[in-house]
Structures are given as C-alpha cells and as structure tokens.
Amino acid sequence: MSGAARRRAVLHPGAWWLWALSLGTAATRTTNPLLLTLLISASAYVVAAHRTPAPWSRSYTAFAKLALAVLLVRVVFAVALGSPIPGTHTLVTLPEVPLPHWAQGIRLGGRVTAEAVVFAAYDGLKIATLLICVGAANALASPTRLLKSLPGALYEAGVAVVVALTFAPHLIADVQRLRAARRLRGRPDRGLRGLLQVGLPVLEGALQRSVALAAAMESRGYGRTAEVPAPVRRTTAALTLGGLLGVCAGTYGLLTAEGGTYGIPVLLAGVAAALAGLRLGGRRSLRTRYRPDPWGLRAWLVTGSGVAVAALLTLASVRDPQALNPGVVPLVAPTLPLWPAAAVLLALLPAFVVPKEPW
C-alpha cells in the first residue's frame, strides 16, 4: 500500500474522540442499565474490530477495570454510608455507629435496602459507561496523530493533554513487560513484594521518558511563538474568553429547565466566537504539518453516528424520562425502550464503514 493510500485508509483521530465523547454524552442522559449495557457493548465491539497492537490500544482493558472499580465503590458507599432513597425491601441490617449531631444526614451502617443498592448500581453504571467510552477513544486514536491535527493555538495545551493521556497506556505497557520478564526469570510478580520490585523500574522508565520528551520538545522549538500586532492579540483573547463563557452559559441553559429558550443560541454563539479566537490565535504558531490526516467521508460518518446517538437519547430523555431513568421506588425491573435501543445501535456504524488500520 502506498503512503497516500495508507493515509486515506486511516481514520482521523479526532473522529474517534468525537464518536466516543458523544457516546459518553448519551450515557449521561440515562440510568437504564439495559441501555448503558448496550452502549458498553457497542463501544467494546468497535474497539475489538479496530484496535491495533500499539501501546495506547491496551488502555481499554485498564479503563474497563477502573469502571468496574468505580461501580463497586459506589455500591459499597451506598451500603456503608446509607442512601436517601427510601425502601421497604431490607437486605441486611448492619451495626450502626452513632455520630455527633453535626454529622446529621450521614450514617455508618444501619438498614440496607434493595432500593438503595439498585439506585447506587444504576448511578455507578452510568459513571462506568462514561469511563469506558473515554477508554475506547484512548484505544482507537493515536495520541501523536491527534496532536498533529490540533489547531495551532491549542498546540501547547494539546501537548500537555496528550502527554497526560499517554501516561496511563505507557505505564500499563511497562508493568506488563516487567511482570513478563520476572515470570521468565522465575521471580514473583504478584503481591506486595512483586509490586515493590516492579514499581522502581517503572518509575525509572517514566523518568527517562520524561527527559527524552523534554529534549525532543526543546529541539523542535516547543513554546516559541511569532510576533503578532497587539490589537490581534487583544481580539483573540476577547473572542476566546467570550466564546468559552458563552459555551458554559449555553451548556448550563441546556441542562436546566429555565434556560431552555436561550441555551442553544448562546451555545452556538459561544462556539462560533471560540472558533474565531482559535483561528486568530493560530497566527502565533510557527509550526507546520507534515502529511496531515485527511477528514474524509468516513470521519463524517463516524462522528455523525456518535452525535446521532447522543441527540436521540437526549430527545428520548425529554419525551420519555421514565423509560430512560427507571425508578427504584417501587422496585421494578427496568424495561428496554425500543427506539432508544435502536438509536444506540447506530454506534456500531464505525465497525462496518472504517477499514481496519494497516500496521
């Protein structure tokens, strides 16, 4: 495969992130465990279809384990610290620890009801689904290619974000490599002893990687900017700050019932102002792009599938809130709403329209 054909076959990394963040947005609109399980299954299928052997691709399993831990912690907290959800189905009664009067509203132990546990499980599963969607983006999108695609005004901030996002995948890869080496040598790789003996080489490798990264950034002129007129700098700052404030105000309006009338116009105006500010801010960047990733039809399809899932589940949460947020008092089994479930299946589109990345 030629270089041009290879670049056309590779999907733009921003499309993967927009797809995953849209699925995460859809997960925040529902606590229905059936719909959340569908979202997790859809993201897992796409990751399984397009994941490569690159180091960052191994982070999906780590994010899934983190999501499971968050779910368990949320349930444990509800059991140990109590829940404001009233219930009649008592599962167990734990010894209750008396607390002073200034700790009213908090209890340790006491009666644990099925309603409180189910409510905590629903809430924890929503957070877990959001984490898994972020893990899917980490596993599918190359951080270096994503950095190359950022606007010039966001280059410095993008480097910091990319370094932070690649820390976990590289750390996981180092731990797996060192544990495999210790097993081949017949040394323990589990337990406290194995953790202590693996931790020092991992920290040493992280320090060496940081020094190498700093040297590479210095040699490439990281942080150097071009001179622009003062009026352009002031206009850029005003547009960017005003755009971000507009995005915050518009988002708040969309999330509250009182701001439904002004939410969308303010949000769109804020996005337009922020994009204009970023466009002007890019004049200070001296960097150029070598073989930029094209944003083609497949990128639009992948992004559109994720945005469609988020939009349809947001619409469903307004029209039928009981189906997307099942109650626990009285305690009933959740039902699967048909058309929101069909909307979630749109998230599987990237598995069929995107060719497997060559490696």
Where are the domains positioned within the chain? 3-149+293-353, 234-284
Q: Which residue type occupies 221?
A: G
Q: State how far the alpha carbon of 175 is from the alpha carbons of 171, 180, 189, 191, 194, in Å.
A: 6, 9, 10, 14, 11
pLDDT tier, 358 (very low <50, low <70, confident <90, very high otherwise): low
**What pLDDT shows up at residue 212?**
76
**N-terminal to C-terminal alpha carbon distance within the chain:** 11
pLDDT tier, 146 (very low <50, low <70, confident <90, very high otherwise): confident
Look at phi and psi of residue 82 and say left if phi exceeds 0, alpha if psi is from -120 to 50, else beta. Answer: left
Distance CA 40, CA 24 (A): 10
pLDDT averaged over every residue in the chain: 78
Distance CA 115, CA 88 (A): 8
Q: Above 50 in pLDDT, residue 1?
A: no
pLDDT tier, 268 (very low <50, low <70, confident <90, very high otherwise): confident
What's the pTM value of the predicted model, to 2 decimals? Answer: 0.70
- For residue 296, the SS3 value is coil
Q: State how far the alpha carbon of 236 is from the alpha carbons of 155, 171, 282, in Å.
A: 16, 38, 10
Q: Which residues contact 217 (CB under 8 A, 6 or more apart)?
A: 159, 223
Range among 30-39, 111-120, 246-255 with highest mean pLDDT value? 30-39
CA-wise closest residue to 39 among 280, 284, 313: 313
